[in-house]
């Protein structure tokens, strides 16, 4: 059995956190992951307080286990959703795409455990000082908003930089990734792309099919010019975005406008032309649709077999 300090910290059976994927991580996916013994997350994405409140209440009808909320700090509604998690008695918050420091005193005061997703050692140290109970070190292999460093280089450096638990993220989609993460010093993993094809994941059929068909070189990181690169599948949308990014006659405003709403089009409409299908580099390792329970069980039995009793977390 694999048990790590993350299991005790978050009151979960398996040391796995489901990525807080915008438009994807809803009550259905979060409650399925919670029921399977991992940490499920609802993504507050760019939604307002009312949407988040109702999604939290919906998830509570679908599971008795703890689940968390991911707050995307670039959201125009970040201030209001930051209050909702307190009012609704959420116990665990993860954050992405920015610094959560201004919200942390209120969250910690309300007894919320805060796990910021971080792309560098400097930010990891700032989060530890700010009272984070753990950090999620996410390498650029991940989907969505990505940092510069790879998981392989980032995770051990973050482990050396902080004394709180470190969760590895980016490029992890099977037991090999879990076993490797432990060897790098992490005590848990965050997985996004593999959960895109979970049966309980409510995204459009086209999105799941594209993930299942993806190859190693099927993703691209666009938007570097705007300061927040996003990894997604190569599609007509992302190729056009990439081209325009290197065209000096296209303004930053026009580029931002091109990206607006594109993730929703992918998730809800399965729009193959205009959709932005965010996905990590591990997409090629994701080959079939499965129930969440099966995904988690399969990943951890593979990790256990590989570790063969080695490492401090296996018993």
Closer Cβ to ligand TUI, 123 or 184, answer by number: 123
Minimum CB distance to ligand TUI smaller for 98 or for 175: 98
How far apart are CB 95 and ligand TUI at their closest, in Å? 7
Q: What is the Cα Rg of the chain in Å? A: 18
Among 214, 230, 266, 292, binds ligand TUI (CB under 6 A): 230
Among residues 63, 30, 61, which one has the least CA distance to residue 44?
Answer: 30
Q: Which is nearer to ligand TUI, 23 or 313 (CB)?
A: 23
H/E stretch holding 302: helix 292-307
> Quick check: 117 binds ligand TUI (CB under 6 A)?
yes
Q: Which is closer to ligand TUI, CB of 119 or CB of 177?
A: 119
53 binds ligand TUI (CB under 6 A): no
Q: Rounded to the nearest 5 degrees, what angle is found at the Cα of 103, between the Cα atoms of 102 and 105?
A: 95
CB of 45 to ligand TUI, least distance (A): 6
Contact 176, 141 (CB under 8 A): no
Per-residue interface string for the shown chain with ligand TUI, residues 260-299, x marking contact by CB under 6 A: ---x--------------x---------------------
Helical H runs in 40-174? 49-62, 78-87, 104-109, 121-129, 151-161
119 binds ligand TUI (CB under 6 A): yes
**CA gap 20, 37 in Å, rounded:** 17
Residue from 33, 123, 149, 172 binding ligand TUI (CB under 6 A): 123
If one asks whether residue 191 binds ligand TUI (CB under 6 A), the answer comes out as: no
Given the structure tokens 């910690």, which residue do they identify? 108
- Which residue is associated with the tokens 């990943």? 299
**68 near ligand TUI (CB under 6 A):** no
* Backbone torsions φ then ψ of 138, nearest 5 degrees: -110, 120
Tokens of 206: 């086209």
Using CB under 6 A as the criterion, what x/- string covers residues 127-166 for binding ligand TUI?
A: -----------x-----xx-x-------------------
Quote the least distance from Cβ 49 to ligand TUI, whole Å.
18
Going by C-alpha positions, the residue among 154, 140, 120 that lies closest to residue 229 is: 140
| Contact criterion met (CB below 8 Å) for 211 and 279 | yes
Query: Which positions touch ligand TUI (CB under 6 A)?
Result: 22, 72, 74, 96-99, 117-119, 123, 138, 144-145, 147, 228, 230, 263, 278
């Amino acid at each position: 059995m694999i048990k790590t300090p993350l299991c005790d910290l978050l009151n979960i059976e398996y040391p796995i956190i489901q990525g807080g994927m915008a438009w994807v991580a809803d009550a259905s996916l979060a409650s399925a992951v919670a029921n399977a013994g991992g940490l499920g997350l609802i993504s507050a994405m760019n939604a307002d307080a009312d949407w988040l409140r109702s999604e939290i209440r919906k998830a509570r009808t679908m599971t008795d286990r703890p689940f968390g909320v991911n707050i995307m700090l670039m959201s125009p509604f970040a201030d209001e959703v930051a209050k909702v998690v307190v009012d609704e008695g959420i116990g665990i918050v993860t954050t992405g795409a920015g610094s959560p420091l201004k919200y942390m005193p209120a969250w910690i005061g309300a007894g919320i455990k805060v796990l910021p997703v971080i792309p560098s050692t400097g930010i990891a140290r700032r989060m530890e000082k700010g009272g984070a109970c753990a950090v999620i070190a996410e390498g650029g292999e991940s989907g969505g908003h990505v940092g510069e460093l790879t998981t392989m280089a980032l995770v051990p450096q973050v482990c050396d930089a902080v004394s709180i638990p470190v969760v590895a993220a980016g490029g992890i989609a099977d037991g090999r990734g879990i076993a490797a993460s432990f060897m790098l010093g992490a005590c848990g993993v965050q997985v996004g792309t593999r959960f895109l094809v979970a049966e309980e994941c409510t995204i459009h059929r086209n999105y799941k099919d594209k993930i299942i068909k993806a190859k190693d070189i099927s993703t691209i990181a666009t938007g570097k010019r705007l300061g927040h690169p996003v990894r997604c599948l190569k599609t007509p949308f992302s190729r056009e975005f990439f081209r325009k990014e290197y065209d000096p006659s296209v303004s930053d405003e026009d580029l931002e406008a091109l990206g607006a709403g594109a993730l929703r089009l992918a998730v809800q409409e399965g729009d193959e032309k205009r959709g932005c299908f965010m996905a990590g580099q591990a997409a090629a390792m994701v080959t079939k649709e499965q129930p969440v329970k099966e995904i988690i069980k399969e990943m951890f039995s593979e990790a256990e077999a590989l570790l063969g009793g080695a490492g401090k977390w296996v018993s």
